[in-house]
Amino acid sequence: MKLYTSKFSPNCRRVEAVLHHLGLYEEVDIRRPNMMEGEHRSDEMRAVNPNMKVPTLVAGDMNLWEANPTMIYLCDRAGAEEFCPSDLKGRFEILRWMSWEVQHYNRALGDILWETVAKGLFGGGDPDQNKIDAALEEYRRFAAVLEDQLAGRDFVLGDKVTVADFAVGAYSALAMFPGSQVPLDDYPAIKAWYLRLESLPSWAKTAPESMAEAAQ
């Protein structure tokens, strides 16, 4: 297998963390195109992903892109039933939370983090507080759902970590970055869960070297 990835992308982090968790990391040829120099727009990248984005996994004759389905593929390849159950009910729960994080929770979180953390690093100007406030309103709506789900649980689906945690928690490093304006103190269960994630060996191995780097 070959993985095109970046050290500084939350979406890449989740895929690399799954590889570590499943013990597959050493089986993968890791390619890190220099995004700042436009290497992700190369003919090589275009051939494996027409979007020219990372993460992209090449596995045999399959070119896999988009983080969540790539993670599920890796779990099924490894037969990781406990981490990513394949029974009807278990798989539905995984897919439900993966879809939810893309459409709602991490979408709102990403809007906040773009304005407060990443925008300046990309030369986008000063944060727009009106956009931050609108994103915070959305974030609070969906953070309440996650806070309730985590009540009495160590992880999203229970006492053991699953691939759903790596998906929903992809932005953990940025969310805890000082100045992010993410109101984690209002959601103690989410904050504790983020810290729990960061302590997992497979997640810790993929931690960005600095929060500023994570924003990239």
| pLDDT tens by residue, 155-191 | 999 999 999 999 999 999 999 998 999 999 999 999 9
Find the domain containing 15 and state its range. 2-78
Of the candidates 43, 78, 113, which is a domain's last residue? 78
The alpha carbon dihedral of 216, 23, 155, 104 has a sign of positive
Does any domain span residue 176?
A: yes
d(CA 48, CA 57): 8
CATH code (residue 35) = 3.40.30.10
Q: What's the N-to-C CA distance of the chain in angstroms?
A: 25
Stated pTM of the model: 0.93
CB 73 within 8 A of CB 59: yes
Residues 161 and 58 in one domain: no
d(CA 12, CA 102): 14
Residues 104 and 191 in one domain: yes
Domain count, the chain: 2
Residues 37 and 125 in one domain: no
From the CA atom positions of the chain, what is the Rg in Å? 17
Tell me: pLDDT of 122 over 80.
Answer: no
DSSP 27-66: GSEEE---GGGTGGGSHHHHHH-TT--S-EEEETTEEEES
The alpha carbon dihedral of 188, 147, 181, 137 has a sign of negative
Give the pLDDT score at 210. 55
Select the more confidently predicted residue: 120 or 137: 137
Does any domain span residue 213?
A: no
d(CA 44, CA 65): 14
Give the pLDDT score at 215. 39
Confidence of residue 38 (pLDDT cuts 50, 70, 90): confident
Does any domain span residue 210?
A: no
What residue has token string 């895929």? 15
d(CA 146, CA 117): 23
CB 67 within 8 A of CB 11: yes
Of the candidates 32, 58, 78, which is a domain's last residue? 78
